[in-house]
Structure 1
């Protein structure tokens, strides 16, 4: 395994940024560049205190004219501003958390007005730009809409197209992506709408540095790899939940913030390769009523209603409601999916300094003729991808999840320099399923034992509280954050978790053997009778994190993030009688340090180090699949080294690069002679590589999201000599992706889109005997925004997997066939 020296890491990161910078510059210089028209960066010295006084100082120092009603700024404060910024970035920082935005007037001045989303807005993705709009309050991009709402709020609301967006970075709070010493990408609700995404698979497919591991139709939630490691749990509105992300629906999501790499200091244990923060839609303070109908592909028609607005005229209360329903056949043969969502959110502006936010949701997801895992026996090789349009399961298989979630957020501006933020979330999922696992053999298809898993519950809770204090020590500025986060998970099952199938007369239903494909798809329906018995807690886990961190500004161009997390993990498994069968409790201090240097305002370079403690693997308690069901592996400490550079062209195009090295204990699967799987831990996985991204608008009409990653993957220090030097299972070392949108100048409202997504080869087994070929997928779309019956309406057609490519999405699951989706969305 090659090791990168610090000099090599810095040189490669700089070279990657330079390469993409050159590409972007070539295109930008060939188009009417906004960069040439952008305001120059200036140095600002605006102390914390009255917002009105701060805005006056901003106007003096920026030569920008501002007008507003005096009552708007009464009682409002700002943390101030010190450093060199573009005017739009300076204004954004001054208005952050105030509930106010800037509007461009016809005279060229800026008018300060109430925001459309939250008076004390917790959404970290708002930025106010100066001079032109990048979008509006409903998240639509300006592509194809140059004539629409030109005088609307100058607000970017969770879009993926501006490099100056901010993202929530755990205890550090909201930070500009361009100035964050981590690799962060954002996928927006706009992308969900434009690609008519039924689930999050489409967004992850488009993300340049994320590998889709298995479609949602396998497990019922998105399953991806980031930097070569599995990532299936996530963060919801900044709250860590240890359960899988069942129950999250695309219709309720404002954006997905993906942070690549370790996040131990930020969110506690787990997700070594990276983590996704699912940011939910928040209430609006202007009337919102959007209705969408369409087809996700096949015969699966859907409807979606998105409502929002003030409840009280003084903006004390505001709401958001999302309701969605979909039912019908998917793009796979004879597969049927039904799902629905009801979600609501409430803002309560208790005072101008105290905001309380509440949210709740109920979702239902039921899939018949499920997608599944594949196995082989006696072939001696891993076969080429089967026909992706088939499920290879009979019609009586199903997978069902019902989810309920409630959450609350509080933000309190205690004084000019002190603020408090806190949140809590509870999520409960009930799952049941009948799934078979096909085995490809020389004599035909076989299956493992046919069983039904009785309904079981996974219950997760999470919370955090952070106190932020801003102060100076001489010329050095600080934002000290102290607090903690906590999350817990438990699984409640029936004493009899699985029941074998029988024929109608009660005789045992044997596993399938020597079947043709037609026989496999049409196996007779079994009967699943039996008393599941009472429920018991089969396992639980708790993660507590006490953190202290300091955001230090040495000079305008040099800063640092330094923090420590005292993390405690407790994991326990239980017998059906309630006795503890295994478990552990372990604590560790995991540090992080990042150094950030900005030689010029548009360029950010950084170096960072982070550690994270991770719970050991818990083997699923399914004796029909595993030889060691319910086993709890020992916890592990992982480490990450990263250097990177980010360059912002003008205000809408960001180039990023990052070089990283992650060290983690190796977990792998071993197939026993019985055909069952044994999960083991042995050796150290080392993933090191380079990531490059290009994100934003190249011109008024052309938007691009592109990039990729190259990784050197290997296993070191394994006691099993056969594992040393091998590649980890299922991880692609190379990815390259690009998606484009082009607004036709001659036809206002018409946008063409397309993308190409390459995922490299991977290995199917720990011995690297079976290599799975890489694949390239293509998408294409067209949408047209016009007026229908006097209302803004967008008609959309999107085709994913345009060439109907058959491919292995992961090392034992198939991908998705060509899917043709269409929709109409009207704004009332």
Structure 2
């Protein structure tokens, strides 16, 4: 097969301009250190030279809230069953210099003791009873002094919940690391373990299990896009995914997950938390947290998929220095071969380097990423002609893209972050980063022209060049006023992007969904220039404060973000056609109340922000610029931690303005109103059983539209019901063997606002096995997964701009992972 020639992919990230930005940044930053508890019999040891000691002070009161407060202030993970601390009180903490000593003071006289775990985490257990003889009273233990020396850990994340699939919390941008029970939002954070066990390689793979998320890009496509709570994220592919809490750094078209430690999903508008989405996504926020160096790791994986798609991945981490203050982690992967889609070939390479310097008070991190993809015959999502009934879904393996059509992309990203703590209460932070996406391709989006599945398309040679830069700086602090504790953040942020594109059209051809027609190859020359098509600047200042009251049982979060939006649009010749400069303030009000230690009731009001429209050239008010759109959400919910099983329920309403032409005048009077109910569950309800999944019901209504034919109809691409469940069971008959199963259901949805083009519901089933063993003394994991095991052909959904998505075909994935 003749391949499109391109330079050999490099795993370096030679962004000269980015490096200049990074070298100019000098602000250091903080990282909360974890403390390791020494054995109970250990005597006090002197601190290491230069070690900084903190001072913790917590008032007397109920034990559970006091433990939660210590965890938030120290950054250490402290886990315990709610019934273990029920009814217990603590005398508090008086100026304890370490987490270990603070824990000892909190637990004094409670009958509980801390048990040190990996990475500075703690669990609690009851003290054993010591009896001298039948009828004797319990012996009195002598006082034991416990101290711990702070050890260097890179920016510790909230730990995994029972089962290891979902994390206990997430990094919520402006609000920082937040436990799920303390967040006034519905958040889900998928761990690296969950992604490895499901053999995911892309962001779309990782999020198929989320009941609130549906992909709007078909299997075999070249870019990821999503619906969250019924609103599009990434439909136009400019900077919609946050990387380590910041927009503008992650790869633009598709994100490969081999370097992701977490994939976090915040349900609902996220403008206050992450800043305004560059492409105006309002249904939620997706944040990818990169892997950081551990003490020592070398993990190698080989994988193989249906037909001949094979490859491998290497993950290496090291720390060194007197206190292990220097860390490096490298993730590299390469895959090549034919995919399950007819005559489709895909080659993908990834190199991700993560560096960090971490001390008790300071942390500096650098992330460098390069991704390259070369796809022959990429799958396209066809337009459906207005008024035409939805044809039956074709065979999922069929490909109407020609063998000679192709796609070639390179994504480079760099991010420098720094944090520095002046003391245990105040810290500063700063970040600077940049990314560039370059694409060269020959294909186009076909249109379905008949109920028989006939299609028409004009292949186009196009070249894209997108550059993005970001910068932020801020101050975080903890303080008290009377009976209230405060965690406040002040942040300044700046984002900008420039989009260039040139194209040359080829010769139109026809084909058919069910019987694709081979067409003679076309040679279409590259465009002579790539004129600028758009430029955007987003500048903002934000302030938030989370107040703790009633012994931390009541948490109130208030915040404001002032955002200025500057946008220029250009025609195909690079001539500016519209200029836009507007600003808006988006608020946040969130409340969490814990009537019991294991129950959180929460509510929020939060606004999203989108760039306002410019009236089109055919309107009588052509060129009129409208203010930024404000999307408003109200939500209430409950989270219950059953010890090893977490359940959540939330009810929400989101209203988003929209523009349309009426009597040849453009206005912004339309609205889409989504009301919904979400239920989720995850954890390990019984030994050897792990579960995560949930259901979402959405009523997405179009209101105040320009036509009676669409007034009150259901919004495009929004199914009323979405359901997912994933379960694992360790088979006792074969130690180390785990069976897995997953089910995804999506109800019917519409592809047009008139609700005349209806896509039927669909269900898919995934099955798998995982076997953990020691092979030649090495920890080894063998995995096998069958996706869409029933081989169903189906339309997976519709995008907001009227294209249909073919569902993924049955495919088999196998892999072997070895730790050296």
- Say yes or no: TM over 0.5: yes
Check 1:612–1:92 CA distance in 2 against 1; reply closer, same or farther (3 A cut). same
Within 2, Cα distance between the matches of 1:311 and 1:667?
57
Pair 1:347-2:342 in alignment: no
Cα pair distance change 1:560/1:483, threshold 3 Å:
same
Cα 1:55/1:499, change in 2 over 3 Å:
closer
Select which of 763, 784, 805 maps to 1:813: 805
Which residue is equivalent to 2:585? Answer: 589
Decide whether aligned partners of structure 1 residues 401 and 322 sit closer, same or farther in structure 2, where only a CA change above 3 A counts: same
1:266 shift after superposition:
1.0
**Matching residue of 2:75:** 96
- Alpha-carbon distance change, 444 to 535 in structure 1, aligned in 2, over 3 angstroms: closer
On the 8 A contact 2:587/2:606 being kept in 1, the answer is: yes
Paired residues for 1:113-192 under 5 Å: 115=119, 128-130=122-124, 157=159, 161=164, 165-192=168-195
Distance (Å, rounded) in 1 between the aligned partners of 2:614 and 2:393: 30
- Separation in structure 1 between the aligned mates of residue 267 and residue 406 of structure 2, nearest angstrom: 33
TM-score normalized by the length of structure 2: 0.80
Listed as ranges, the matches of 1:434-445 within 5 Å are 434-436=442-444, 437-441=446-450, 445=454
Counterpart check, 1:385 vs 2:385? no
Matched with 1:31 is none
Other structure's SS at 2:196 match = helix
Shift of 1:316: 2.2
Structure 1 residue 657: deviation in Å?
Answer: 1.0
CA distance in 1, matches of 2:630, 2:324: 47
CA gap 1:744/1:341 in 2 versus in 1, 3 angstroms? same
Match of 1:560 in 2: 556
Aligned to 2:13: none
Alignment correspondent of 2:202: 199
* Matched-pair contact (CA < 8 Å) for 2:435–2:467: yes
Could you say what secondary structure the match of 1:719 adopts?
Answer: coil
> Does the C-alpha gap of structure 1 residues 78 and 792 become closer, same or farther in structure 2, counting only changes over 3 Å?
farther
Corresponding position of 1:272: 282
Who is 2:646 aligned against? 654
1:692 equivalenced with 2:679 (yes/no): yes
Cα distance in 1, alignment partners of residues 44 and 600 from structure 2: 34
State the partner residue of 2:576. Answer: 580
Matches within 5 A, 1:320-399: 320-349=329-358, 351-377=359-385, 380-399=388-407
2:441 match: secondary structure:
strand
Shift of 1:169: 1.0
Q: Structure 2 CA distance, aligned partners of 1:692 and 1:516? A: 37
Q: How does 1:491-502 map to 2 (within 5 A)?
A: 491-493=499-501, 497-501=502-506
Alignment CA distance shift 1:225-1:754 (3 Å)? same
1:506 matched residue in structure 2 = none
Q: Deviations over 1:727-747 (max 9, x none)?
A: 111111211111001112332
Distance (whole Å) between structure 2 residues aligned to residue 586 and residue 476 of structure 1: 37
Counterpart residue number, 1:249:
256
Contact 1:378 1:442 in 2 (8 A): no
Q: TM-score, normalised by structure 1?
A: 0.79
Tell me the CA shift for residue 355 of structure 1: 0.8
Question: The residue matched to 2:671 in structure 1 has which SS?
Answer: strand
Residues 667, 817 of structure 1: alpha-carbon distance in 2 compared, 3 angstrom cutoff: farther
Residue 545 (structure 2) aligned to one of 534, 543, 550: 550
- Contact between 1:489 and 1:542, CA under 8 Å: does it hold in 2? yes
CA distance in 2, matches of 1:464, 1:93: 23
Q: Among 593, 596, 604, which residue is 2:600 paired with?
A: 604
Per the TM alignment, residue 421 of structure 1 is displaced from its structure 2 partner at its CA by: 2.4
Report the secondary structure of 2:47's partner residue: helix
Number of the residue aligned with 2:233: 231
In structure 2, the CA distance between the partners of 1:801 and 1:303, relative to structure 1 (3 Å rule), is: same
Residue 620 to residue 128, structure 1, CA distance change in 2 (3 Å) = farther
CA-based RMSD of the aligned residues comes to 3.6
1:305 aligns with 2:314: yes
Q: Deviations over 1:735-776 (max 9, x none)?
A: 111100111233221111101111111101111111111111
Q: Which residue of 1 aligns with 2:129?
A: none
Tell me the CA shift for residue 66 of structure 1: 8.4
In the alignment, is the contact (CA less than 8 A) between 2:249 and 2:435 conserved in 1? no
Aligned residue number for residue 824 of structure 1: 816
Shift of 1:98: 11
Report Cα offsets for 1:313-357 as digits up to 9, x if no partner.
4312111001100000111122111000111111112x4201101
User: Any gaps of 5 or more consecutive residues in structure 2?
Assistant: 1-31, 79-97, 104-111, 127-152, 235-239, 799-803
Match of 1:709 in 2: 696
Q: How much has 1:76 moved relative to structure 2?
A: 3.5
Q: Answer whether contact 2:220 2:341 (CA < 8 A) is retained.
A: no
**Structure-2 change in CA distance of 1:761 and 1:78 (3 Å):** farther
Is residue 268–residue 612 contact of structure 1 (8 Å, CA) maintained in 2?
A: no
Counterpart-to-counterpart distance in 2, 1:561 and 1:81: 21
| Contact 2:164–2:193 (8 Å) recurs in 1 | no
User: What is the CA distance between 1:65 and its match in structure 2?
Assistant: 8.5
Cα gap change, 1:637/1:66 in structure 2, threshold over 3 Å: closer, same or farther? farther
Partner residue of 1:538? 533
The answer on whether the counterparts of 2:217 and 2:381 sit within 8 Å (CA) in structure 1 is no
Mean CA deviation greater in 556-565 or 681-690: 681-690
Residues 41-93 of structure 1 show CA distances to partners (whole Å, capped at 9, x for unaligned) of xxxxxxxxxx99x999x99xxx9988875436931326655664289756644
- Which residue of 616, 629, 640 corresponds with 2:633? 640
Partners of 1:561 and 1:529 in 2: CA distance: 56
Partner of 2:722: 735
Contact map agreement 1:393 1:521 (CA 8 A) in 2? no
For residue 524 of structure 2, what is the aligned residue in structure 1? Answer: 528
Q: Match for residue 473 of structure 2?
A: 465
Residue 456 of structure 1, CA deviation: 1.7
Comparing 351-360 and 192-201, the one that deviates more: 192-201
* Distance in 2 (alpha carbons) for counterparts of 1:428 and 1:240: 13
Match of 1:512 among 509, 514, 530: 509
Checking the alignment, whether the CA contact within 8 Å between 1:786 and 1:794 is kept in structure 2 is: yes
Give the Cα separation in 2 of the matches to 1:444 and 1:689.
35
Secondary structure of the residue aligned to 1:206 is coil
CA distance in 1, matches of 2:789, 2:762: 13
Structure 1 residues 308, 156: closer, same or farther in 2, change over 3 A? same
Gaps of 5+ in 1: 1-50, 117-126, 133-152, 502-508, 622-628, 671-678
1:774 maps to which of 761, 776, 779:
761
410, 423, 441: which one pairs with 2:431?
A: 423
1:664 matches 2:659: no
Q: In structure 2, do the counterparts of structure 1 residues 252 and 162 end up closer, same or farther at CA, with 3 Å as the change threshold?
A: closer
> 1:193 and 1:303 mapped to 2: Cα distance?
13
Q: Does 1:477 align with 2:488?
A: no
SS of 1:190 mapped into structure 2: helix
- CA–CA separation in structure 1 for the residues paired with 2:182 and 2:157: 20
Distance, in Å, in 1 between the alignment partners of 2:166 and 2:808 is: 31
State how many pairs are aligned: 707
Cα distance in 1 between the residues matched to 2:793 and 2:431: 44
CA distance in 2, matches of 1:202, 1:131: 38
2:19 equivalent in structure 1: none
